[in-house]
């Protein structure tokens, strides 16, 4: 009887379960096709220069759905920026106005099926790099009131560049910072020192601006660049030494200020340096050799002063001079300083010209000399300075010297180069001769005149004629002159590169090896860009 009850219960349970089951085999299912985003062989990682255009061309489709029923969104984010819409088209073509970063940005691509509301996503990584790598930086003006900064990256100025890769990027300061520089550039300097910082300092007669050479973004300017606002922003000289204290110097209003790179918390110029004897001074030009403390010329007192790190401007004790010293660094009251630059064998070349005492300016037809100083440390005697006298070189017999506008030299040969409005001369210091080695061509314009000249101290390569009369290639650093010119009739500025012969020290005579870059305003200052 018990067994019968169990069987009956199981049959009842089976019936109940069967009655609860609904046959759904007759229902219709709609298959939703996927949104296809095909990239082919393309990567999901992209690298693009800032301010350049990024293009990504996926193939997008959905079977059974018209393209008009699909919508698109390209959104970039990361590196402290919120999601930013770049484009709303199937393929991306957008200018990337984002700050270069070592970490890639996140790019999200969304495709919406408007008929179903379903979204398909595809992610990308975008590394924004700086296009502002090593090259020649120029300060140029179009109106003699304001300035802008341009960059030439080229075979002569940038490592790894071929000649067909030469490129010029104009007006970068205003492009990035949405304004021009107030005033005409008098000095410009790009400095980088490891992890301690990177700065490009731009000076005029009335303003100071500092930007990041990595992306040209603004850092600070005028009084904000100093611990104590100097009020006067008339810049006459900039310098930097990585081997002698990692110190950047700026001369404004006749006073010399320093910026010590290794003080990471304080990237400001200090209060101006005092002299070791607490006397007043008025500096015009200064120089910062790589291997010794810098030197400046005190126009007020007619003397050389040593830039003793960030401490003070050291006055030399004349009584410590050797009896046969070539000159007394404290007794140069009749001169004004025209140029200061390094020469061979740790020698500093200082071009001095007789001055008009009533104006303080160079006297018309005033005698011109090169006062050589020794660039060395003098640890044993605190009364001796970097800038001890070496010799005096009389330049007055050289051709056209009274018309010289610019002087420069290299630290690997005994030569000095000077430029008149239209010519560049080479002085062989060993032979005491001067040769006109270059005349500004009239092929572009008959009124083209030289506006600046400097020895190139950056990266890059150059071609020259070797001792067999064949083309050879070597580093352009310390082996090339950068000469800028301007045509008033064309209102156009030019950059000309002049290789220096490895064997003779003179300017390369094969004009096929000279470089030409054009299309600028009036160029007033240049510097190698460091990164």
Token pair for residue 205? 């007669």
Mean pLDDT value across the chain? 90
- Integer Cα distance of 254 and 283 in angstroms: 5
Comparing 218 with 265, the larger pLDDT belongs to 218
Determine the pLDDT at residue 199. 92
For residue 44, CA distances in Å to 61, 63, 81, 96 come to 19, 24, 21, 17
Q: How far is CA 479 from each of CA 124, 211, 507, rounded to the nearest angstrom?
A: 45, 29, 9
Q: Which residues pair with 54 in a beta bridge?
A: 94
CB-side neighbour CA atoms (13 Å) of 444:
21
Residue 20 confidence (pLDDT)? 46
Confidence of residue 342 (pLDDT cuts 50, 70, 90): very high
Tokens of 32: 């939703």
| Domains of the chain, start order | 36-129 (2.60.40.10), 135-437 (2.130.10.10)
Sheet containing 218-221: give its strands across: 185-193, 197-204, 208-211, 218-221
Position 328 scores a pLDDT of: 96
Average pLDDT over residues 14-24: 48
The pLDDT of residue 295 is 93
* Mean pLDDT, rounded, for 262-282: 89
Q: Helix or strand or coil: residue 448?
A: coil
Give the pLDDT confidence score for residue 237 in this predicted structure.
96
Q: Which residues have CB under 8 Å from 496's CB, separation 6+? A: 440, 482, 483, 484, 485, 514, 515, 516, 517
Q: Is the pLDDT of residue 56 over 70?
A: yes
Q: What is the rounded average pLDDT of the residues 102-110?
A: 93
Task: Name the 3-class secondary structure at 15.
Answer: helix
Q: What is the rounded distance in angstroms from the CA atom of residue 519 to the CA atom of residue 491?
A: 9
Query: What is the model's pTM?
Result: 0.80
Residue 10 is predicted with a pLDDT of 46
Segment 194-210 mean pLDDT:
90
Query: Higher model confidence: residue 5 or residue 265?
Result: 265
Structure tokens at 85: 């819409």
| Statement: residue 271 has pLDDT above 60 | yes
Confidence check: pLDDT of 16 > 80: no
CB 155 within 8 A of CB 161: yes
Q: What percent of the chain is modeled with pLDDT above 70?
A: 92
Q: What's the pLDDT score for residue 8?
A: 47
pLDDT tens across 376-405, in order?
Answer: 766 567 777 778 899 999 999 999 999 999
With the C-alpha atoms ordered 181, 520, 515, 531, is the resulting torsion angle positive or negative? positive
Return d(Cα 209, Cα 178) in angstroms, integer.
14
Beta bridge partners of 308: 312
Q: How far is CA 31 from CA 63, 366, 454, in A?
A: 11, 95, 73
Find the Cα–Cα–Cα–Cα dihedral 285, 291, 293, 297, rounded to 10°.
-20
**pLDDT tier at 18 (50, 70, 90 boundaries)?**
very low
How far CA 347 is from CA of 243, 344, 359, 411, in Å, comes to 16, 6, 30, 8
Confidence of residue 193 (pLDDT cuts 50, 70, 90): confident
Closest CA to 203 of 172, 236, 170, 240: 236
CA–CA dist 252, 283 (Å, integer): 8
- b/e per residue 472-490 (b: at least 16 CB within 10 A): eeeebbebbbbbbbbbeee
Q: What's the pLDDT score for residue 125?
A: 96
| Cα 271 to Cα 187, 203, 311, 332, distances in angstroms | 20, 17, 11, 27
Is a pLDDT exceeding 70 seen at residue 68? yes
**CA-based radius of gyration for the chain:** 34
The helix/strand/coil state of 199 is strand
pLDDT attached to residue 387: 82
pLDDT higher than threshold 60 for residue 413: yes
Letter string b/e over residues 496-510, b meaning 16 or more CB atoms within 10 A of that residue's CB: bbbbbbbebbbbbee
pLDDT of residue 197: 79
Tally the residues of the chain: 531
- Mean pLDDT calculated for residue range 356-373: 95
pLDDT band for position 245 (cuts 50, 70, 90): low
Q: Are 490 and 445 in contact (CB under 8 A)?
A: yes
Rounded to an integer, what distance in angstroms lies between the CA atom of residue 448 and that of residue 467?
A: 33
What local confidence, expressed as pLDDT, does residue 100 receive? 83
pLDDT at residue number 7: 46
**Mean pLDDT score, 89-117:** 92
The per-residue pLDDT for range 508-522, each reduced to its tens digit, is 999 999 999 999 999
Residue 341: CB atoms within 10 A of its CB come to 20
- Using pLDDT thresholds of 50, 70 and 90, give the confidence band for residue 308: confident
């Amino acid at each position: 009887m018990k067994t019968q009850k169990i069987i009956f219960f199981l049959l009842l349970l089976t019936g109940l379960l069967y009655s609860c089951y609904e046959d759904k085999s007759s229902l219709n299912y709609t298959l939703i096709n996927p949104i296809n985003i095909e990239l082919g062989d393309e990567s999901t990682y992209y690298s693009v220069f800032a301010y350049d255009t990024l293009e990504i061309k996926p193939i997008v489709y959905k079977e059974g759905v018209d393209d008009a029923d699909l919508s698109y969104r390209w959104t970039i984010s990361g590196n402290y920026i919120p999601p930013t819409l770049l484009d709303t088209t199937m393929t991306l073509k957008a200018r990337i106005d984002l700050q270069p970063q070592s970490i890639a940005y996140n790019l999200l691509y969304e495709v919406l099926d408007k008929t179903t509301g379903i979204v398909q996503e595809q992610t990308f990584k975008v590394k924004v790099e700086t296009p502002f790598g090593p090259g020649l930086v120029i300060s140029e003006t179009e109106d003699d009131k304001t300035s802008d900064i341009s960059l030439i990256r080229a075979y002569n100025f940038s490592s790894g560049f071929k000649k067909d890769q030469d490129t010029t990027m104009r007006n970068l300061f205003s492009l990035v910072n949405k304004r021009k520089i107030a005033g005409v550039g008098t000095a410009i300097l790009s400095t980088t020192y490891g992890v301690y910082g990177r700065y490009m300092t731009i000076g005029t007669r009335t303003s100071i601006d500092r930007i990041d050479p990595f992306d040209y973004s603004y850092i600070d300017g005028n009084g904000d660049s100093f611990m104590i606002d100097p009020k006067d922003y008339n810049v006459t000289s900039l310098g930097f030494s990585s081997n002698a204290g990692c110190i950047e110097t700026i001369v404004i209003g006749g006073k010399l200020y320093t910026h010590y790179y290794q003080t990471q918390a304080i990237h400001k110029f200090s209060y101006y340096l005092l002299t070791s004897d607490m006397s007043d001074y008025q500096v015009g030009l200064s120089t910062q050799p790589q291997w010794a403390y810098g030197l400046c010329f005190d126009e007020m007192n007619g003397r050389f002063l040593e830039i003793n790190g960030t401490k003070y401007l050291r006055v030399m004790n004349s009584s410590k001079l050797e009896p046969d010293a070539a000159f007394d660094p404290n007794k140069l009251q009749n001169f004004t300083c025209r140029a200061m630059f390094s020469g061979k064998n740790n020698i500093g070349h200082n071009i001095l010209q007789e001055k008009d005492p009533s104006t303080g300016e160079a006297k018309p037809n005033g005698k011109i000399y090169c006062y050589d100083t020794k660039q060395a440390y003098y640890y044993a005697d605190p009364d001796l300075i970097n800038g001890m006298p070496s010799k005096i070189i009389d330049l007055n017999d050289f051709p056209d010297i009274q018309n010289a506008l610019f002087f420069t030299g290299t630290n690997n040969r005994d030569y000095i180069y000077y430029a008149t409005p239209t010519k560049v001369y080479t002085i062989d210091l060993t032979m005491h001769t001067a040769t006109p080695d270059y005349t500004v061509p009239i092929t572009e314009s008959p009124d083209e005149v030289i506006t600046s000249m400097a020895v190139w101290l950056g990266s890059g390569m150059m071609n020259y004629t070797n001792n067999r009369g064949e083309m050879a290639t070597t580093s352009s650093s310390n082996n090339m002159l950068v000469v800028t010119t301007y045509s008033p009739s064309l209102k156009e500025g030019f950059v000309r590169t002049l290789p220096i012969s490895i064997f003779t020290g003179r300017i390369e005579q094969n004009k096929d090896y000279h470089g030409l870059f054009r299309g600028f305003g009036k160029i007033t200052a240049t510097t190698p860009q460091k990164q």
